[in-house]
Structure 1
Amino acid sequence: MTAKKTVSALALVCALPLTTPANAELIWSDFSLSYLHGEDYEVIAPDGEMDTVTFEHASGHSWGDTFLFVDRLMPGKADSETYGEFSPRLSLSSVTDRSLSLGPVSDVLLAGTWEFGEGFDNYLYGLGFAIDVPGFRYFNVNLYKASNDVWDNDEQLTLTWGYPFTLGTADFLIDGFLDWSSRSDSNASEMNFTPQLKWNAGKHLGLKQPLYVGIEYSHWNNKFGIQNRDERNASLLLKWHF
């Protein structure tokens, strides 16, 4: 598929809210701001130290779901950068008006992602699967073909999950993602496994929305497709939902 056709395909997915029936409805919506501080980052942080501020928005609709995040990356001894992703998914159960559930798979979706950063735009398109896993708030699998701007095209597997649990009166959440991309002529295969463990301090401060305190751990092999540039970094995390 040419880059032009890829952009057109992703644009179709991104336009879903405009093309769905008039009775399409918003089911849920969430906004959050996060602050991270770590000291063992690779590649863009020469001394390993970096602060990151992240804005996130996620929403569920009668026609599917969306996820957006924008990172402001602020290394200690390098210029700051902005990176983000926008990922809409169209429920094929909604489109066909029939259940596509099978075993643990509760829905099949058309999935797209736009990755944007300093001087590049990547477009990913493929299929997504919503999986029912006992105890998990959500568990998603996306399979993508990537049309990359400044390096060779490849394939990508993305997993996302959220698992809440309670210890006594304390509420916790383990969530995160795993991205695996295939090897290409220009890049090594890479794997980025990044979970977060968070305690809801807001519950004990009388807040209606979560205020999380915790850690994020990045286990990234061949970061940015660079052979043997591996990241093992734990960051302090503060995340406020509103």
Structure 2
Amino acid sequence: MNRLAVPLRVLALAAVLAAPAARADFSTTNVQLLQGWNFHDKTLGYNTSSGAMTTVTINHFSTWAYGDNFFFVDLYRGNFLDFSGTAHDYDRAKAYGEWHPRLDATKLLGFKMPGFKNFGPAAELNLGSGYFGYLGGLGGDLDLPIPGVVGVNVYYKYDQYLHDTFQVSPFWTLPFNIGPVPFLFTGFVDVQGWKKDGNGDNSLDGVDVLAQPELLVDVLAPFGGKAGKLYAGCEYYLHFNKTHGDEQVPQAMLQWNFN
């Protein structure tokens, strides 16, 4: 099967889910272009012979009466190496997608969870080139007296390699201004239980941490253009793994918001 087939099906599903966006309470979609030059992450497969990797990301987030829906698809381009360090002519493109639906039990059941704007069941589907993961748990957005969103999801996770484990995923999107210039600080951290041999038979012996904070500046707004359309800045790719070591990769980034 084509290496991109399953993730592209995720993208097709995402397009179907996004179709009713006009009926959503809120909807936003963007496309991102990222370029990094030091990718040697064997654990997650972002390992290229030169370290260079180009990523195109499609993001969508929408809310409805009783929950919200987020998905993204990453398309990667680079001269990828396998875990042994061998390059293959066919292995120059990868794809990965996630879908995050959540229900707001505070609206469904009419109660207030202290400290949260919304709270309820949360799920996540991960699909990529040679990888799958299924997650279920609880999550919500914190009730903080600041603009933007800060939230956390807590999951039971079953995936292709670790089998049974857990994942805690805080995330944030925080707008701010320095003088007349608007900025956006956004990102997430995924903390999951790690098993050293990765075969699912042994108990947890540590954690794996993946973080991707982004600092972006609104390019058009300071010059009279439409605010919130074009952002430029950087993403910092951080992956800390007890067994295979740590990776830190700054990436140049552009983001175009469709709505």
Q: What TM bracket, shorter-length normalisation?
A: 0.7 to 0.9
Residue of structure 2 in register with 1:52 after alignment:
55
Of 118-127 and 203-212, more deviation after overlay is shown by 203-212
Matched residues, percent identical? 27
Deviation of 1:95 after TM superposition, in Å, equals 1.5
Partner of 2:210: 192
How many residues align? The count is: 215
**Do the aligned partners of 1:112 and 1:125 also contact (CA within 8 Å) in 2?**
yes
Change (3 A) 1:31 1:155: same
Give runs of ≥4 in structure 1 deviating > 4 Å: none
The amino acid of 1:99's aligned partner reads F
Per-residue CA deviations over 1:167-192 (Å, capped at 9, x if unaligned) read: 11100010000000012253462101
Which residues in structure 2 correspond to 1:1-242 (within 5 Å)? 26-41=24-39, 42-43=41-42, 44-76=47-79, 78-96=91-109, 98-102=110-114, 104-184=115-195, 186-187=197-198, 189-203=207-221, 204=223, 206-207=225-226, 209-222=228-241, 227-242=243-258
Distance in 1 (alpha carbons) for counterparts of 2:227 and 2:150: 25
Residue 107 of structure 2 aligns to a residue whose secondary structure is helix
Q: For 1:191 and 1:46, how far apart are their aligned partners in 2? A: 24
Query: CA distance change for structure 1 residues 231 and 205 in 2, over 3 Å: closer, same or farther?
Result: farther
Q: CA RMSD for the aligned pairs? A: 2.0
| Deviation, structure 1 residue 163 | 1.1
Shift in Å, 1:73: 1.0
Deviations 1:19-54 (A, max 9, x none): xxxxxx621000100000011112232321100000
Q: Secondary structure at the match of 1:159?
A: strand
Q: Tell me how far 1:209 sits from its aligned partner.
A: 4.2
CA distance in 2: counterparts of 1:202 and 1:123, whole angstroms: 39
Equivalent position SS for 2:167: strand
What stretches of structure 1 of length at least 5 have no aligned partner? 1-13, 18-24
For the 8 Å contact 2:218–2:227, the answer to whether it is kept is: no
Could you tell me how far apart the structure 1 residues matched to 2:141 and 2:149 are? 8
**Aligned to 1:93, what secondary structure does the other structure show?**
helix
Secondary structure of the residue aligned to 2:245 is coil
Q: Does the CA-based 8 Å contact 1:36-1:236 persist in structure 2?
A: yes
Contact 2:218 2:228 in 1 (8 A): no
